[in-house]
Amino acid sequence: MATLPLPPGSTLGILGGGQLGRMLALAAARLGFDVAVLERDADSPAGRVAAHTIVGAYDDPAALEQLAAVAQVVTFEFENVPADSVLKLQSLGVEVAPGPEALAVAQDRIAEKQFLNASGAPTVAFSAADTAEEAVAATAAMGAPVLMKTRREGYDGKGQRWVEHAADAAAAFTELGGVPVILEAPADFVRELSIIAARGRDGATAVYPLAENHHEGGILRRSLAPAQVSEDLAFQAEKIAARILKGLNYVGVVGIELFELKDGTLLVNEIAPRVHNTGHWTQDGCAADQFEQHIRAVAGWPLAPTVPHARVEMLNLLGDEAEAWSKLAHEPDTRIHLYGKRDPKPGRKMGHVNKLKAL
């Protein structure tokens, strides 16, 4: 088992080699850690800035054994890591954070909603359906329109369909692959917000100011932070975050997406047991960003302050938008973060910029 707090010079493992893994690896390096990345792609964004890259599937026993041989603590950059992989690493004596309970909740949208409601974190009304017939019946019972999502996987607007009439539910179910789904009632919200929160191994917590988020086609386009919110709204969000962190016995950073309703109350849309796109503003808006905070938490270090020193507009660079790097580099208040991805497909997140403004 690892000696905690993890001393500099130790190796921290990351399951996943995408942009979040890359930024986690860079933050870990600043704190003196080496990083080992387990990723299927030998030329991954995270692997190219890590000390070690282990090429293999996330559930490959041999690859997991290689990771366990070099890493004292392991974390992950996305929530669809197989739960058995976490259990395998733990059986090999490796600390994994966040733990399997957080993964189990985040990987199944029904389990997620049930956990949130049981923790006192309100959500929209929802129903489960395992067959096309159940989907039709649930839509009729809830009343259309409803948002149908696959219970597992799906991100950036993928794996979901709006159902405008109960008669359309069977076709939507088939279009989503005929797999178990969740049906969600629409939220009559005025804006989308999010809160990035962290919990250390000692139970200490830290929260960043709320961000206001704007999506296009199911993909986050920009975040504004700190968001202009009332003290009451901020308190609501912090209370929700505290309940989630405690309920999961969480270690690390979590992203919590929220709907602000017309009456000033909040609903939780979903949680992500990892660093989050809506927290990228912290890289240039706070002394310690969400990536360093996550590394500190999983390594057993004290959490860092979350006080902002600038207002930030974070803009995702999608597809060939990252090719404007030269123009962006001439903007004095713009900070560029490129992910090193080779193929700029339409809608693919290739990087982001943080545009700084005075608080």
- What is residue 217's predicted lDDT score, i.e. its pLDDT? 87
What integer best gives the mean pLDDT of the chain? 96
Q: Check pLDDT > 70 for residue 271.
A: yes
Report the candidate in 248, 292, 249, 221 with the shortest Cα–Cα distance to residue 29: 292
What is the tens place of the pLDDT at every residue in 27-37?
A: 999 999 999 99
Domains of the chain as residue ranges with CATH: 11-96 (3.40.50.20), 125-184 (3.30.1490.20), 189-357 (3.30.470.20)
Contact in structure between 78 and 38 (CB atoms under 8 Å): no
Q: What is the mean pLDDT of residues 254-264?
A: 97
pLDDT for position 270: 94
Condensed to tens digits (0 to 9), the pLDDT of residues 177-236 reads 999 999 999 999 999 999 999 999 999 999 999 999 999 988 999 999 999 999 999 999
171 by Cβ neighbours in 10 Å (0-12 / 13-18 / 19+) ranks as: middle
User: How far is the C-alpha of 258 from the C-alpha of 195, rounded, in Å?
Assistant: 8
- Let me know: does 9 contact 32? Beta carbons within 8 Å: yes
d(CA 47, CA 55): 9
pLDDT for residue 77: 97
Q: Residue 16: pLDDT band by 50, 70, 90 thresholds? A: very high
Q: How far apart are the first and last CA of the chain?
A: 44
- What Cα–Cα distance (Å) separates residue 73 from each residue in 48, 100, 222, 316? 20, 14, 33, 30
What mean pLDDT comes out for the span 275-301? 98
pLDDT digits (tens, 9 = 90+) for 65-116: 999 999 999 999 999 899 899 999 999 999 999 999 999 999 999 999 999 9
Answer whether residue 155 shows pLDDT above 70.
no
Closest CA to 16 of 66, 69, 59: 59
Rounded CA gap, 84 and 326, in Å? Answer: 44
Q: What is the pLDDT of residue 83?
A: 87
Q: Pull the structure tokens for residue 111.
A: 């389990």
Contact 293, 206 (CB under 8 A): yes
pLDDT at 218 (0 to 100): 85
The two tokens of residue 146 are: 């409803």
Flag whether pLDDT at 157 surpasses 80: no
The whole-number pLDDT of residue 158 equals 74
Q: Does the pTM exceed 0.85?
A: yes
Position 9, amino acid: G
